[in-house]
């Protein structure tokens, strides 16, 4: 595993620095659980790809709520993350080196990837990925935009297409439409030919429309169930009361998928609907499909802020204090109707 390798190599480097030839890189390392202040900007050994791995020179890495998972003991254990740990799951960059079993990518290729939660490693100058995780970077995107795509776009895709089987002509209610997942979910659903009802706060109502939502609901003023009725699919990224009230708006035989909670089987049975809780998985083929939609201009990518790697603390300070995955990460700056932040080198 990348982290364990980095740790072992890191100790080795400190002790044998005079003789070591291991290339060094800058990375953000988490050595202890805590708030964003535990993110340390350090020199660490550059990872070396194994047979089935690809070493990427990271040009940009996405910043997502899940990036804080390794800082919380409970979620770190849940995801199998061990300290010390380099956070970051979304990367875009150039293939530097490939392991012997890699056939789909070669040195110099532009790629983007969602790195598995256990491995992470994106907040660094170089990161390891695999053929299962990486896909060709959409040609129309800069690296900084491409890095904002993988985890949220894959989540939206796997929720709507793989899990809920959303089809043309159906109606979908998307909670948190202005968030990272929501912005892609709205656009993927529209590209699929569905009718979209989306929720967000007051400041983001125009934004929902710009993304293609047919109906925008301000959750601070209107109960969504007063507007959305008999929908085919609900995508929930909010949980709690929002999820509890969502079962009643799905038509019989419809589907509810949540990203942040357990599904209540009794509620499903009561309403004659189906449902599932989703945990997103890396998927190279799906990332390729998403990339095509981006290059065809059917999906636009919005980046809210960028940070140098050395300011990863500022990037993660956007998340609510004491937040713990899978708690809802409330949007930070209401004047900025976009949520994805990316760091640059």
Ligand X SMILES: NC(=O)c1ccc[n+]([C@@H]2O[C@H](COP(=O)([O-])OP(=O)(O)OC[C@H]3O[C@@H](n4cnc5c(N)ncnc54)[C@H](OP(=O)(O)O)[C@@H]3O)[C@@H](O)[C@H]2O)c1
Contacts with ligand X, residue ranges (CB under 6 A): 64-66, 151-152, 155, 175-176, 178-182, 199-201, 204, 219, 237-238, 242, 259-260, 278-280, 325-326, 328-331, 339
Which residues are 28's β-sheet partners? 41
Q: How far apart are CA 234 and CA 166, in angstroms?
A: 10
CA 293 to chain centroid, in Å, comes to 18
Give the nearest residue (CB) to ligand X. Answer: 179
Of the two residues 95 and 188, which places its CB atom closer to ligand X in the complex? 188
Using the minimum distance from each CB to ligand X, give the nearer residue, 151 or 196.
151
**Minimum distance from CB of 217 to ligand X (Å)?**
8
Going by the DSSP 8-state scheme, the letter that residue 141 receives in this structure is S
Q: How far is the CB of 328 from ligand X (least distance, A)?
A: 5
Report the 3 state secondary structure along 269-299.
Answer: HHHCCEEEECCCCCCHHHHHHHHHHHHCCCC
Task: Write down the least CB distance from residue 63 to ligand X, Å.
Answer: 10
Compare residues 96 and 218 and give the one whose CB is closer to ligand X: 218
Task: Evaluate whether 236 touches 197 at the Cβ level (below 8 Å).
Answer: no
Q: What is the three-class DSSP state of 16?
A: helix
Shortest distance, position 65 Cβ to ligand X, whole Å: 4
User: Residue 55: CA atoms inside 13 Å, Cβ hemisphere, count?
Assistant: 17
Task: Report DSSP letters for 228-280, one per residue.
Answer: --SEEEEEESS-HHHHHHHGGGEEEEEEEEESSS---HHHHHHHT-EEEE---
Query: Could you give the CA distance from residue 53 to residue 196 in angstroms, rounded to a whole number?
Result: 39
From the CB of 98, what's the least distance to ligand X, in Å? 28
Shortest distance, CB of residue 102 to ligand X, whole angstroms?
26
Q: What Å distances lie between residue 147 and 123, 144, 238, 342, CA to CA?
A: 11, 5, 23, 7
Preceding omega of 84 cis (within 30 degrees of 0): yes
Taking the complex as a whole, how short is the minimal distance between the CB of residue 320 and ligand X, in angstroms?
9
Based on CB atoms, which residue is closest to ligand X, 46 or 175?
175
Instruction: Choose between 6 and 197: whose C-beta lies nearer to ligand X.
Output: 197
* Cβ proximity to ligand X, 97 vs 343, nearer residue: 343
- For ligand X, which is the closer residue by CB, 83 or 261? 261
């Amino acid at each position: 595993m990348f982290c364990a390798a980095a740790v072992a190599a890191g100790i080795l480097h400190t002790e044998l620095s005079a003789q070591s030839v291991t290339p060094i890189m800058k990375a953000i390392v988490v050595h202890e659980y805590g708030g964003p202040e535990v993110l340390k900007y350090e020199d660490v050994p550059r990872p070396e790809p194994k047979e089935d791995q690809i070493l990427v020179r990271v040009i940009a890495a996405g910043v997502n709520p899940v990036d804080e998972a390794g800082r919380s003991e409970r979620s770190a254990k849940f995801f199998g993350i061990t300290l010390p740990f380099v956070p970051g799951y979304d990367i875009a960059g150039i293939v530097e080196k490939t392991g012997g079993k890699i056939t789909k990518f070669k040195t110099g290729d532009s790629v983007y990837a969602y790195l598995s939660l256990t491995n992470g490693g994106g907040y660094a100058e170089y990161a390891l990925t695999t053929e299962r995780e990486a896909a060709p970077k959409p040609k129309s995107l800069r690296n900084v935009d491409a890095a904002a795509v993988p985890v949220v776009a894959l989540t939206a895709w796997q929720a709507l297409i793989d899990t809920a089987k959303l089809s043309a002509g159906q109606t979908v209610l998307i909670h948190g439409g202005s968030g990272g997942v929501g912005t892609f979910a709205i656009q993927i659903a529209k590209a699929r030919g569905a009718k979209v009802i989306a929720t967000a706060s007051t400041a983001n109502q125009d934004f929902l429309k710009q993304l293609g939502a047919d109906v925008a609901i301000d959750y601070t003023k209107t109960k969504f169930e007063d507007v959305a009725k008999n929908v085919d699919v609900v995508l929930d990224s909010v949980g709690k009361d929002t999820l509890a009230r969502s079962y009643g708006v799905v038509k019989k035989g419809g589907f509810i998928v949540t990203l942040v909670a357990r599904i209540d089987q009794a509620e499903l049975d009561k309403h004659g609907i189906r449902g599932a809780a989703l945990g997103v998985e890396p998927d190279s083929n799906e990332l390729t499909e998403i990339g095509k939609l981006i290059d065809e201009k059917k999906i636009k990518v919005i980046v809210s802020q960028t940070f140098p790697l050395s300011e990863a603390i500022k990037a993660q300070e956007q998340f609510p204090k004491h937040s713990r995955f899978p708690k809802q990460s409330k949007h930070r700056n209401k004047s900025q109707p976009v949520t994805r932040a990316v760091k640059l080198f």
